[in-house]
Amino acid sequence: MRLLALVTDGFGVSGGIARYNQDLMAALSQSAAISQIAVLPRRASATATLPAKVRQLAPSAGRASWSVRALALGARQRFDVVLCGHLNAVPLAAAIAGFGRVPLWVQVHGIEAWQRRGAAYRRGLATATLITSVSRYTRARLLRWADVAPERVRVLPNTVGSQYGPRAKPRGLANRLGLSGRRVVLTVGRLSTSERYKGHDRLIAALPGILARVPDAAYLVVGSGDDRPRLERLAREAGVHEAVVFAGQVADTELADYFALADVFAMPSTGEGFGIAFLEAAASGLPVIGGSRDGSVDALAEGRIGRLVDPDARAEITAAVVDALVGNTRTCATEANRFAFNRFATHVDALLAGLAR
């Protein structure tokens, strides 16, 4: 099969959706059912290394120009499957698949699929042969409003890379960040005003209570975005700014070192579709803390991989972080094996077999 993938984030950019797309393209390229994959991204790097069978076209940041290029590509070349990598592109992808009379595969991630969409999106989803969701939570929320048969919506969770594993703390990185001798709480995620649900502010609010019981604790924030000034202000107002380190954006190739530096990973979110960082932290041997109201429940395997807390209960967050820092929480590196890439690739191959039929 020749596959056209319409994605927001392609190869050469970072972020949870980008990483999911990259893993999915890598798994597709390994399948004997696929002969070639044309990826049309809105954001990508021309210098990125690509898996076999994958051809990534130049990105188009503007939605209108990207849509025109997608329509032209679908009309000019013959594809056997159209993969829509984000719900926002469903009307466009459905039109291309309908024109070519080929199956439509739609991928949904998280909060974008939780609320009822307009008629164009519902009609587009109704034409999909296959819809995959990163978590059971997102699947359930989608099925509340989408006019699709439940058996056509399958769960295809994130996968974790083999570069993540337990290892010694990198002393050089600790010295550079001023974290030598500190017990480190880590959050990895975009600092965006549109993604405040991740819970950075909840951890900053809990930090005074954490420091009262673990005075050498520090909060390491990895990620960038327009919400950083607000978070820095919250840390100053709470009197904990000296215990908070904003590391900024970190390259994917360096991220494993930041997990190795930490003593616990915490992200008490309320809007996470899944949360690949949970898997990376668990695979790195860290105790993991997540919120109990979103797709984090799937990532933490209902609490078998990490500890689920009420994200709006500050005392509960404080207690969970303190327990982890003082060694009262077990690590679950082996539990993350259920999300290994080979299992992900096997699942993708089975989904392709269904499309072929």
Q: Summarize pLDDT for 238-248 with one digit per residue, the tens.
A: 999 999 999 99
Position 322 confidence tier, pLDDT thresholds 50, 70, 90: very high
Please state the rounded mean pLDDT for residues 308-335.
Answer: 88
pLDDT at 138: 94
* CATH number of the domain located at residue range(s) 171-338 in this protein: 3.40.50.2000
pLDDT at 333: 64
Please state the rounded mean pLDDT for residues 153-180.
Answer: 93
Q: What percent of the chain has pLDDT over 90?
A: 87
In eight-state DSSP terms, residue 58 is P
pLDDT at 277: 92
Q: For the whole model, what pTM was predicted?
A: 0.86
Looking up tokens 């908070």, which residue turns up? 244
| Domain covering 2-159+340-356: architecture | 3-Layer(aba) Sandwich (3.40)
Tens digits of per-residue pLDDT, 94-130?
999 999 999 999 999 999 999 999 999 999 999 999 9
Position 162 confidence tier, pLDDT thresholds 50, 70, 90: confident
pLDDT at 15: 83
Question: In 3D, which of 146, 63, 66 has the Cα closest to residue 112?
Answer: 146
As a residue count, the chain comes to: 357
The rounded distance, in Å, linking the Cα atoms of 216 and 326 is 11
The string of DSSP letters for 118-138 reads -HHHHHHHHT-SEEEESSHHH
For CATH 3.40.50.2000, the residue range(s) in the chain are: 2-159+340-356, 171-338
The rounded distance, in Å, linking the Cα atoms of 146 and 116 is 7
Q: Which amino acid is at 78?
A: R
Please state the rounded mean pLDDT for residues 141-146.
Answer: 96
The average confidence (pLDDT) of the chain is 94
